[in-house]
Amino acid sequence: MPPGGGAIRVLNVAEKPSVAKSVAEILSRGGMQSRAGRSRYNRVFEFNYAIGAQACHMLVTSVTGHLMELDFDDRYRRWYSCDPAELFHAPVRKAVPQDKQDIKRTLEEEARTCQWLVLWLDCDREGENIAYEVVDICAGANRNLNIWRARFSALIPREIHEAVQHLARPNKLFADAVDARQEIDLRIGASFTRFQTMLLKDAFVLDVSGEERNMVLSYGPCQFPTLGFIVERFWEIQAHEPEEFWTINCSHTSDEGTASFIWIRGHLFDYSSAVVIYEMCVHEPMATVQNVRNQEKLKYPPYPLSTVELQKRASRCCRMSSEHTMKVAEELYQGGFISYPRTETDSFSPNTDLHAIVREQVDHPDWGTYAQRLLNPEERLWRNPSNGGHDDKAHPPIHPTKFSTGENNWSPDHKKVYELVVRHFLACCSQPAVGAETTVEVDIAGEQFNASGRVVLAKNYLDVYRYDSWGGSLLPTYTIGQQFVPTSLTLDSGVTRPPPLLAEADLLSCMDKAGIGTDATMHEHIKKLLDRCYATKDANSRFSPTNLGEALVMGYDEMGYELWKPYLRAMMEADMKSVSVGTKSKAQVLEGCLQQMKACFLDARANKVKLLDAMGTFFARSNRPINETQNTIEVVRPCGACNDSEMLLKRRPNGGFMVGCRGFPQCRNVVWLPGSLAEAAVTQQICPTCIPGPVYKIQFKFNRRDIPPSFDVDHLGCIGGCDDVLKELTEMSRFQHHNQTTMPARSQSQTQTTSTSGVRQGAPRQDLPTGSRSTGQFANQHTPAVNPQGRGQSQTPSGVGVRQGTPRQDLHTVFRTASQFANEQQTPGVNPQGFRSTHTGLTQNSRNASSSGQVLCTTCGEACINRTANTEANRGRKFYKCQNPGCGFFVWEDELDNVAPRGRGRGSRGGGRQASASAGRRGGGRGRRGRGNADAEGMTFVSATGDTVHGCCFTCGDPSHFANACPNR
């Protein structure tokens, strides 16, 4: 259809295909033409129309909900690509997914030929956000578009024509509020979900869904507080202790009926007191009427219907879940039978023609008669609806928009929801029910009892609103001063009962009051709990937590965090509202919220043992080996061995680091990293030389005590082969490990697992290139404490004592080893010899060594103090000891010249480190039960003060510890 003369082309975009069709049918009055778009589900309708005095050629098409998705960049999208903590600041982008590219192309093609863009999206924050997604696409194709917003609440001619003739501009603040919420939910949800799943899924047997290997332990900022309400009520029930009580019941029967009187005390928990009072009443049973009150009571109709109230009442009255209720209501809205079902408003505008809405229902066979009475002034039944006090400024309360006695394609649930909406609307336009209530108070032996009765004088709105009831027993006539003897007077017992499980309506009320979610999303959070097997719902729509749901809440509760409480999310929702009204910016809300939640995440991860303990309360530990899902794993480079997977940075069970193929065990390509590493994290920097790429550089942090002083602790390196620093440290670690490793005789299968270089035999290994430097050269340059034969002090037992007869030139190695052992064990108050530090038998020498002959500690370089031994075996013998209590360096003065050089030198310090590491890890292998180290047999160990040490490790022969604390067990 060609446009009329002088007409402008107007592109109209609705949120769903059905809405686009309804808008086109209403505006064209059926005279439209239809053609296919790029997407077969989103057709384009064309017709001529006039907006004000402007002739228009209208093109109406649609999207299907959100056109774009917010997600992380590809670098962070995979679960094991980064530390979950990085997701709080990782780059995100909003883009059109592949399955909606056809819709995007339709919008771009149509926008290029149009002058106006009219947005027919739902008139709430979410709809406004989708509107700006459409604007981004269309304005990208045509920057000269004049952009307008149509605001409507029902797909009926009156609303649609009114909307197109009073176009407005879209609200950017509403869109910003949704953008902020989406980004917050994405970052928090992804980080905690990855953390929980990687930590717990393989650690426990969690066969709760039948697909254990594929299950996701999700966390959502709204989902978890919703689960918290369920768990908290469940804990209240579990903590309830039944307690027996006693109460006195009284009844009186006359010709007019029976009145049941209730004891004003309610009940007593003390049996003796209850018996005493009861016997008083039995002894003087005459009841005297002290007061009779007759008063009119009103029962008011409900407020106009909001989304949350619709879900609550459908749950109570129709036994429908909130999720199903919203699905049915959405279908009724798209059919034009009810107004927009997502609204917080519970008060009608004064401009709404309520009589016209009632008039459309007068022909209904069930409630048509009541609608006629409501419109009849003589009935005096009409009452303007009460104001519930909530107005979202977008949509009116939910009300009927079209008459129907039931369509052919309606299910019974469609009829139930439509009937609920109509009856609720008629009820809120009606007078309240009127009743007469009588209260009688009597006295029996000084104890007060009362009885109440009610009679309904005018039902009014109760005639149509069958979901409410109001009544009571009719009391006999009593007058003040009247006396009678009760027909029965009994002492009854009962037991206190716990509160019931949360019903769905109650759960929705909790969420609504706490500000958890929006009216349009509450049902989604509830459904998510059921889908994730965090909670179950019984036939009465009451919720119970599963073991999994309870364990997760318990774990965070034990940490002291209230992540399962509604407070944090309520604050977030309040911030979103502030963005939507312009009192806070999107950037402010994002920065504050994400900073707070990242701190919670880091603390939670540091206290993950409590989450593990909570899970262990409900689930058995898995016998599966620790795999990559339980460690921080980051992609470093493509695998050059299998060319089918990626090399990942992994933390090994022993605390070390490696870069291995994701395809293990099919591909065994691995790069072993230095054992001196303390921390490692993949960065976004790519090595410009190494191939195949990209090869991401790694930020390394080394243990200072395990590397020579000439090397920096922090190093940004590459594992591709171009990094000379990493080559040297790796070779140093390998050589050191070669000289430290002794393997006892094992079974053949065990012997094959590890070689002297620490690499699995038979497994391909990708070593860092070492250049032309040989192992011997490396050892000669960097480990002066190792002898020329390439061996460390193999005769020196690990630990703490000094073997009598040991060559003096090796003593400083032994003492360095002792101090290292003390530092590694970090046992306060214990010296390197393994004995608790006291000053008994020692006298402080009044002098230190002179400045020219000062003795320096070979471990930390500090000046030593001179002391004199006062033990029986070495009385008067002088020795030097480091001033640092945690160091433990020791040397006899008469052996000083042969033990260590005076002064502070890089070579001796570095050599001390290398030799001590070698000596400290030797001393025998595992499994040699019944005797200590072979080298220690027949030898005597002495402490630093010369006393003989009795007893040693049963496993390795080290006198510094016993077998139960042996590091070589």
CA angle, 200 then 201 then 207, to 5°: 125
Which residue has tokens 């594929």? 214
Distance CA 365, CA 725 (A): 89
Please provide the size of the chain in residues. 969
Q: In what order do the strands lie in the sheet with 714-717?
A: 677-686, 696-702, 714-717
Residue 537: HSE in the Cβ half-sphere, 13 Å Cα cutoff: 19
Distance CA 158, CA 138 (A): 29
Q: In what order do the strands lie in the sheet with 257-263?
A: 483-484, 287-299, 433-444, 447-458, 257-263, 244-254, 488-495
Picking from 543, 536, 530, the residue whose alpha carbon sits closest to that of residue 500 is 543
CA angle, 298 then 302 then 308, to 5°: 150
What are the structure tokens assigned to 946, written together? 């010369």
- Classify the phi-psi angles of 738: left when phi > 0, otherwise alpha if psi is within -120 to 50, otherwise beta: alpha
CA angle, 514 then 515 then 519, to 5°: 130
Report cis status (omega within 30 of 0) of the bond before 692.
yes
> Within its chain, how far is the Cα of 537 from the centroid?
22
Picking from 696, 693, 688, 624, the residue whose alpha carbon sits closest to that of residue 659 is 696
> Within its chain, how far is the Cα of 619 from the centroid?
20
Distance CA 251, CA 281 (A): 13
Distance CA 921, CA 740 (A): 6
Which residues contact residue 46 at a Cβ distance below 8 angstroms, ignoring those fewer than 6 apart? Answer: 1, 32, 33, 34, 35, 57, 58, 59, 60
Contact assessment for residue 342 and residue 397, using Cβ atoms and an 8 Å cutoff: no
Distance CA 362, CA 667 (A): 76
String of DSSP letters for 403-425? --S--TT--HHHHHHHHHHHHHH
CA angle, 530 then 536 then 539, to 5°: 120
Question: Burial code of 392-419, b = ≥16 C-beta within 10 A, e = fewer?
Answer: bebbbbbbbbeebeeeeebeebbbbbbb
- Please indicate whether residue 556 is annotated as part of the active site: no
For residue 361, list its beta bridge partners.
Answer: none
Phi, psi of 933, deg, nearest 5: -60, 140
What are the structure tokens assigned to 438, written together? 């009588």
Picking from 277, 310, 289, 573, the residue whose alpha carbon sits closest to that of residue 424 is 310
Q: Which of 49, 80, 340, 465 is catalytic?
A: 340
Q: Which amino acid is at 431?
A: Q
Sign of CA dihedral 28, 33, 36, 38: negative
CA angle, 335 then 114 then 1, to 5°: 70
CA dihedral 508, 512, 517, 518 (to 10 degrees): 100
String of DSSP letters for 508-564? HHHHHHHT-S-TTTHHHHHHHHHHTTSEEE-TTSEEEE-HHHHHHHHHHHHHT--TT
Picking from 638, 634, 515, 524, the residue whose alpha carbon sits closest to that of residue 572 is 515
For residue 439, list its beta bridge partners.
Answer: 293, 452
DSSP state of 621: B
Cite the active site residues. Answer: 340
